[in-house]
Amino acid sequence: MPKGASTMCSVSTPTDPHSTIPDRLASAGGLKKGVARGLSRDTGLHEADIYGVGSFYHLLARPEKRVRVCGGLSCQLAGSREILSACQAAGLPTEEISCLAACDRPPAVLRDRRTLPMVTIQDAERSGGKVEDLCSNGSESVWCGTIGPQDAAAETLCLNLSAEPDWSGSAFKAAGTMGSSALFDLIEESGLQGRGGAGFPAHIKWRAVADQAEQERYIVLNADEGEPGTFKDREILLRRPDLVLEGLAIAAAATGSSEVYLYLRGEFEVPGGVLAEAIQATTKAGRFPGITFHMHAGQGAYICGEETAMLEALEGKRGMPRLKPPFPVEVGLWGKPTLIHNVETIACIPGIVLQGGTWFKDLGRTEAGSKLYCISGHVQNPGTYELPLGVSLDELVAAAGGYVGTLKAFSPGGASSGFLPASERGRALDFKGLGAIGSMLGSAGVVVLNDTINMRWAAEEQLRFFEEESCGQCAPCRIGTHYLHAAVKRGEEKSLGLTHVADVAWQMNEGSICGLGQAAALPLTSALKYFPEDFA
């Protein structure tokens, strides 16, 4: 369990002054009047460039809004809109914000950079309009969510979130003895796929970076966990920072890199503090010689979970996705070969090294490995559960204590996966099985909805999220997210019909360069397909 938390430190970067813009803006209190001009004088950078960066990120663009209430689906089910009204009535400078990765402890509120779980109307009233006095149930304690299953045998878990951190460095030493080629073979044997959403085979990335002629290479941790319904990476960072750092160190040594960058979403002040303490202790102990860890706090942008948008953000730019190819393994951070992994993916590496590829592969049911499933919404015990990859919704919900009410629908992999009906409750929650019906496992952020929910409302809320979080770079995404949200909000789908909505969705999918635009229509198209009665 974490002992404390501190503010994330700034990233160490090459000499390009552009890379310092977000941190300088954050230190100045955000994009207040005159800040961009002052930084322009100090750095010699164009004021327009500085303003462009600051206006892109939520936490920099509106610094006067120090209290932000989560508007994610799970938090809304728990009354977040009432909390928003209570905060505003109390005189707190408040606005709504996208998912805070606290769906298991709703409703969540962001106070400056600290996420407060299970905030009540009484908490807002008790603050007396003072931001500093807004606390969750009057407490400032560091918090974790529910994990399970409690009765699982340790040998069936790769991550084992309930175990104490292991700082022996045994996996790092074993990987060094093994050598890079054998390690890559081991990862291939394990069948490890990316756990951040795409499910791409990990060994291909590792080999691609190692095979580049360019010798300056980087490792980047993608901890910008912003997909609505997802909070597993938060739990890993809080409970098992040892697995994260050791996995990153193994990756660095195997691919010939000495620099590791950890990009955490700006709302992760508490997990960031825990990780910073772990890095400090690890560095002092000399556990991973020759490897330097750099932490970077994001500034509030869902799109930065896309790997190339995250690289742009690390370089101090607006977080807008790059065209691919070239891929990051060839041209990544500062134009150098870069291995990027999600928190859960990299945390699996130590277990694979110590226990073997076959061991990891056999932990899964339909696909390789155990998997962290997040579950929230209408279930008894929302939380993070490590289960064989390929369990069904019913099995996952059983681990979470059962349904609340009668199941109507669920999102199997966050907002990007759309909605599925109760008739799919027995389907394997894996990459192939969900892909076969036009959905996706994604980040395995499962949100359960019972029969009290109107799916038109649920679809509208997810469309609102995508409209707000679109970076605006691709016209089909920029226009399409607004168009679909407005259509549902006004009820125009009655006259347009499914055919027209499907056409807009097709254009978004074909004309957008990243996953946001390609998946943003799914909440609507899936809701129309499975729940047409809610749109009548």
CATH of the domain at 425: 3.10.20.600
Looking at residue 8, its pLDDT comes to: 47
Looking at residue 498, its pLDDT comes to: 57
> What does the pLDDT look like over 353-380, one tens digit per residue?
999 999 999 999 999 999 999 999 999 9
Per the domain annotation, does 171 fall within a domain? yes
Determine if the peptide bond prior to 337 is cis (ω within 30°).
no
Average pLDDT over residues 128-150: 88
CB count in 10 Å sphere of residue 273: 22
Q: Which structure tokens are listed for 436? A: 């076969």
Asked if 240 and 278 touch (Cβ cutoff 8 Å), the reply is no
Closest by alpha carbon to 221, among 384, 338, 354, 316? 338
Domain boundary residue, one of 360, 387, 407: 360
> What does the pLDDT look like over 155-200, one tens digit per residue?
999 999 999 999 999 999 999 999 999 999 999 999 999 998 888 9
187: amino acid identity, one letter:
I
> What does the pLDDT look like over 104-121, one tens digit per residue?
999 999 999 999 999 999
Residue 138 pLDDT more than 70?
no
Domain span holding position 387: 369-450
Looking at residue 139, its pLDDT comes to: 62
**CATH number, domain containing residue 477:** 1.20.1440.230
437: amino acid identity, one letter:
I
Asked if 196 and 374 touch (Cβ cutoff 8 Å), the reply is no
217: amino acid identity, one letter:
R
Among 13-17, 83-87, 101-105, where is mean pLDDT lowest? 13-17
- For residues 376 and 349, membership in a common domain is answered with no
Task: Please work out, in degrees rounded to the nearest 5, the angle formed at the alpha carbon of residue 365 by the alpha carbons of 364 and 370.
Answer: 25
- For residues 180 and 258, membership in a common domain is answered with yes
- For residues 168 and 185, membership in a common domain is answered with yes
- For residues 188 and 244, membership in a common domain is answered with yes
Phi-psi region for residue 299, left (φ > 0), alpha (ψ -120 to 50) or beta?
alpha
HSE-up of residue 434 (Cα within 13 Å, Cβ side): 33
Looking at residue 494, its pLDDT comes to: 56
- For residues 347 and 400, membership in a common domain is answered with no
**CATH number, domain containing residue 105:** 3.40.30.10
Q: Which structure tokens are listed for 75? A: 């938090």
Q: Which residues of 30-65 are buried (b: 16+ CB within 10 A; e: fewer)?
A: bbeeebbeebbeeeebeeebbbebbebbbbbbbbeb
- For residues 375 and 505, membership in a common domain is answered with no
Domain boundary residue, one of 79, 99, 133: 133
Per the domain annotation, does 11 fall within a domain? no
Residue 491 pLDDT more than 80?
no
Q: What percent of the chain has pLDDT over 90?
A: 90
Looking at residue 536, its pLDDT comes to: 81
Residues whose CB falls within 8 Å of the CB of residue 499, separated by 6 or more in sequence, listed in order: none
Domain boundary residue, one of 416, 435, 450: 450
Q: Which structure tokens are listed for 146? A: 């529910």
Looking at residue 497, its pLDDT comes to: 52
As a whole number of Å, the end-to-end CA separation of the chain is: 49
Backbone angles phi, psi at 377, to 5 degrees: 95, -135
Backbone angles phi, psi at 66, to 5 degrees: -90, -10
Per the domain annotation, does 222 fall within a domain? yes
Asked if 269 and 115 touch (Cβ cutoff 8 Å), the reply is yes
> What does the pLDDT look like over 193-218, one tens digit per residue?
999 888 899 999 999 999 999 999 99
Q: Which residues of 184-204 are buried (b: 16+ CB within 10 A; e: fewer)?
A: bebbbbbbbbbbbbebebbbe
> Whole-angstrom Cα distance, residue 349 to residue 246?
8
Q: Which structure tokens are listed for 55? A: 């206006």
Element (H, E) at 234: helix 232-239
Looking at residue 197, its pLDDT comes to: 81
Structure confidence at residue 14 as a pLDDT band (50, 70, 90)? low
β-pairing verdict for 94-97 and 67-70: parallel
Average pLDDT over residues 38-51: 95
- For residues 435 and 462, membership in a common domain is answered with no
Give 177: exposed, middle or buried? Use CB within 10 Å, 0-12, 13-18, 19+.
Answer: exposed
Q: Where are the beta strands (DSSP E) in 124-170?
A: 147-148
> Whole-angstrom Cα distance, residue 368 to residue 128?
52
- For residues 226 and 317, membership in a common domain is answered with yes
Instruction: State whether residue 119 is helix, strand or coil.
Output: coil
Question: What is the distance, to the nearest Å, from the Cα of residue 227 to the centroid of all Cα atoms in its chain?
Answer: 5
- For residues 315 and 441, membership in a common domain is answered with no
Per the domain annotation, does 239 fall within a domain? yes
> Whole-angstrom Cα distance, residue 174 to residue 247?
12
Asked if 429 and 392 touch (Cβ cutoff 8 Å), the reply is yes
> What does the pLDDT look like over 278-334, one tens digit per residue?
999 999 999 999 999 999 999 999 999 999 999 999 999 999 999 999 999 999 999
Asked if 287 and 279 touch (Cβ cutoff 8 Å), the reply is no
Domain count, the chain: 4
> What does the pLDDT look like over 397-439, one tens digit per residue?
999 999 999 999 999 999 999 999 999 999 999 999 999 999 9
Residues whose CB falls within 8 Å of the CB of residue 298, separated by 6 or more in sequence, listed in order: 57, 224, 263, 264, 265, 266, 304, 313
Looking at residue 196, its pLDDT comes to: 84
Residues whose CB falls within 8 Å of the CB of residue 305, separated by 6 or more in sequence, listed in order: 196, 222, 224, 225, 226, 227
Average pLDDT of the residues of the chain:
93
Structure confidence at residue 16 as a pLDDT band (50, 70, 90)? confident
Per the domain annotation, does 283 fall within a domain? yes
296, β-bridge pairs: 263
Per the domain annotation, does 209 fall within a domain? yes
> Whole-angstrom Cα distance, residue 313 to residue 57?
10
Residue 15 pLDDT more than 70?
no
Dihedral sign computed on CA atoms, order 256, 260, 261, 264: positive
Helix/strand/coil (H, E, C) string of 314-341? HCCCCCCCCCCCCCCCCCCHHHCCEEEE
Question: In 44-179, where does DSSP find H-type helix?
Answer: 47-56, 58-61, 73-77, 80-89, 121-126, 170-178
Instruction: State whether residue 441 is helix, strand or coil.
Output: coil
- For residues 435 and 416, membership in a common domain is answered with yes
Instruction: State whether residue 217 is helix, strand or coil.
Output: coil
Phi-psi region for residue 362, left (φ > 0), alpha (ψ -120 to 50) or beta?
alpha
Per the domain annotation, does 145 fall within a domain? no
Per the domain annotation, does 25 fall within a domain? no
**CATH number, domain containing residue 280:** 3.40.50.11540
Residue 40 pLDDT more than 50?
yes
- For residues 446 and 337, membership in a common domain is answered with no
- For residues 464 and 431, membership in a common domain is answered with no
What angle, 0 to 180 degrees and rounded to 10, lies between the N-to-C axes of helices 522-530 and 493-511? 140
